[in-house]
Amino acid sequence: MKPIQQNVNGLLAAGALGFLGLVGGCSSASPTFYQLTPLNPPTVPAVAPEQAVEVHNTILAPSLERDVMVMSLAFPQVHVDESAAWSAPPGILVTDTMAADLQRTFPRAVVFTQNAAVAVPPQAFVDLTLTRFDRNAAGQAIIEGVLSVKRAGWGAEPTCASTIDWLSPAAIPNTPGDLAAALSVGVEAVSQRAALMLETLDQCPTPADPLAMPVTTPPKVNAY
């Protein structure tokens, strides 16, 4: 019986060591969380105060929707920073930031997101789908996708759509904070494009119209 007892004790000891190893593996440092920063776009006070705009949830390519921050899509590889993450799903951050930028542009309008509890029926919708929201091979922040605006109502016309191909004016350092700051500037540029489309919805700009790229100093990004 002694050898059996020794074997059992050995198995228990090995199991305890394995458990401690698992606990140690789970105690890795938490990532630093980053968020986008709404900026201060020019205002258009002439917009009718009764106008209500709903910004639908932004759709991101699956390769961009990750628990850690995607730094670049260097096809066929996806480069991430495991020490950094967005403070919320990146699609939601883009949606909230766009809504905040549009509200500053149209202070007399009511701008809200798809997830907001608002009793006012929307009169127009803004939709955004993104395939790039990272840093390209040249080191520039890049936002690519399709932006569309339409009147509310089943089958309502017109619907205005535009391709988005935004690049930061210069290369940025390969750090999560610099990327978040540069992408905040890019989201403001996309928001200004959406504002123009809302203003001129009856005379919809063609998809070939270039996206205005404002020369803006990247903001400080809150990390926590």
Name the residue with tokens 């401690």. Answer: 20
Domain definitions of the chain by residue range? 1-30, 31-203
The Cβ-side half-sphere exposure at 71, using a 13 Å CA radius, reads: 17
Which residue intervals of 29-136 are DSSP H helices? 90-105
Q: By C-alpha distance, which of 169, 172, 166 is closest to 94?
A: 166
The 10s digit of each residue's pLDDT in 61-116 is 999 999 899 999 988 899 999 999 999 999 999 999 999 999 998 888 899 999 89
Q: How far is CA 10 from CA 17, 19, 36, in A?
A: 11, 14, 53
Which residue intervals of the chain are DSSP H helices? 2-25, 90-105, 176-199
Name the residue with tokens 């569309």. Answer: 148
Per-residue pLDDT of the chain (224 residues; tens, 9 = 90+): 445 444 434 433 444 444 344 444 454 578 999 999 988 777 766 554 448 999 999 999 999 999 899 999 988 899 999 999 999 999 999 999 999 999 998 888 899 999 898 888 899 999 999 999 999 999 999 999 999 999 887 666 678 899 999 999 999 999 999 999 999 999 999 999 999 898 888 777 544 444 433 333 344 444 43
Cα angle vertex 208, ends 203, 211, to 5°?
Answer: 90
Query: What pTM, to 2 d.p., does this model score?
Result: 0.77
Which pairing describes strands 77-81 and 69-74: parallel, antiparallel, or unpaired?
A: antiparallel
Q: Superfamily assignment of 31-203 in CATH?
A: ABC-type transport auxiliary lipoprotein component (3.40.50.10610)
8 A C-beta contact, residue 149 and residue 162: no
